[in-house]
Structure 1
Amino acid sequence: MPIKCLIVDDEPLAIEILQSYVDRVETLELVGTCSNAVQAFEVLKKEPVDLLFLDIQMPKLTGIEFLKALNPIPQVIFTTAYREYAVESYELSVLDYLLKPIAFDRFLMAINKVVENGNTSVEVVREEAESMQSDDPFLFLKVDRKMVKVYLKDITYIESLKDYVRVKTEAGKELISLQKISYLEKKLPADCFQRVHKSYIISVKKISAYSNTSIEIGETEIPIGRSYKSEVMKVLSGQNAG
């Protein structure tokens, strides 16, 4: 199955170069090109894609603002002339960061990352998006070489393992997936899941006890990070009031 991609860039020459590169790679299929993020929103409403080539400095809406507003989020490769956004792109779980002018061999290295990361099909992305509006929402996690369906109601907590996450379920099951915790934080509904530490996201409904410094889920004690404490206590106080 081809990797469907969309180019979003306000520079016609940059679009032309990327389009020529995409045409030279058999596994890529170009869905379209957009000169700004607003146009890209309209395209994605009609046809979800697997991969975005996304410029950062654009009129109306920057690439970073656009990415933060997306749900679900396809795989993303930033294409930019500015080095200073590299750290923020890493925090957003962007797959690669290409500096203009982009050489074809560097472009191919980025595409290899897409393939290695296990390109998620459009059907899976669409099914996930629809599930988030249902009574029994779920997401897919890449575990080994399979896409595994995980119902949100079964998740107790998620732990970051650098480039991987460990997802624990109520049945005691443990899933290790190549995924950044920041990516899952954006996908999970904020009314059910809470980031409590740089390394942990917890299911609010699964909390059995808590203090000023930690949360208990079953027999597991999870620390509350200093920078997350204020927001976590606000959420927990709201739970008590409810």
Structure 2
Amino acid sequence: MAIRCFVLDDEPLATDLLKEYISRLPDLQLVGVSNSPTQALLFLQQNAVDILFLDIQMPRLTGFDLLRPLNNRPKVIFTTAFREYALDSYEFDVVDFLVKPISFERFLQSVGKIYRFLPNSSPQPEVAETTRPAKEYQYFKVDKEMIKIDLDDILWIESLKDYVRIHTISGSLVSYLRISYLEEKLPPNKFVRIHKSFIVSLHHVQAIAASYIRVNNEELPIGRIYKARLDEILQGN
């Protein structure tokens, strides 16, 4: 069952970011987005929403003011640049309180909490304390699907201008993303950019030479401007 989400923030850049995050997760269904608190209030009074991603400080109507008249109040994840609202926010039985700028990793933590608050959603499996830590993963849009890939399975990533080809231990796929975006989002302790066209997984590196890195028996070139950073990482290891 899809979790119906609504995003309200008076800043278009903030709503665009949350829309992009929500689009990566197939369990979430975006049913509305607004930069106007008054328009959002009318929508929420007439439509069922499971999770409301809500800014607090907005013109004419704060996030707190918007919630008070709602009879069927959705669960709320506050998104704000002001930490001082944290205590006041818990008057509304919030799921989480996110402080801008919001990373995708922090967004995922909030989404994980949703399953504890929504009785009709499928519960996430509990993990015994003695089991290994859960694998890190990322969702990638491939054609019309969001494909989940364990980060440990990625060998290297190849730039195709506005797209990337992700090479994994089980094959490759193409996703509509820029390599510069992934360079910022992937954990730096696991991945390093070695060229304008390549990011490699440090775990899967087989050999390193002056001009190339070998991964999965493929020699990938090391760009001149990336060599100093690569040497710094290798010396740290």
Note the C-alpha offset of 1:230. Answer: 0.8
Closer/same/farther in 2, CA of residues 233 and 177 from structure 1, 3 Å limit: same
Closer/same/farther in 2, CA of residues 220 and 6 from structure 1, 3 Å limit: farther
TM-score (norm 1): 0.53
Tell me, in whole angstroms, the C-alpha distance in 1 between the residues paired with 2:178 and 2:85.
24
Q: Which amino acid aligns with 1:192?
A: K
Deviations 1:124-170 (A, max 9, x none): 8989xxxxx93422121111111212111111001122222111012
Q: What is the aligned-residue identity percentage?
A: 30
Q: Which amino acid aligns with 1:189?
A: P
After superposition, the CA RMSD in angstroms is 4.0
Q: Which amino acid aligns with 1:166?
A: R
CA contact (8 A) 2:10 2:37 kept: no
Match runs of 1:1-242 below 5 Å: 2-7=4-9, 9=11, 18-19=36-37, 31-35=53-57, 37-39=81-83, 46-47=95-96, 66-67=100-101, 70-72=103-105, 123=111, 134-171=133-170, 173-239=171-237
Aligned partner of 1:13 in structure 2 is none
**Higher Rg of the two aligned structures:** 2
Q: Which amino acid aligns with 2:188?
A: A
Note the C-alpha offset of 1:48. Answer: 8.4
Gaps (5+ residues) in structure 2? 12-33, 58-79, 116-131
CA contact (8 A) 1:156 1:203 kept: yes
Deviations 1:187-241 (A, max 9, x none): 32211111222322110011111223221112322222222211111112333xx
Tell me, in whole angstroms, the C-alpha distance in 2 between the residues paired with 1:228 and 1:6.
40
Deviations 1:23-50 (A, max 9, x none): 7888x9863223362359968x94489x
Note the C-alpha offset of 1:6. Answer: 3.8
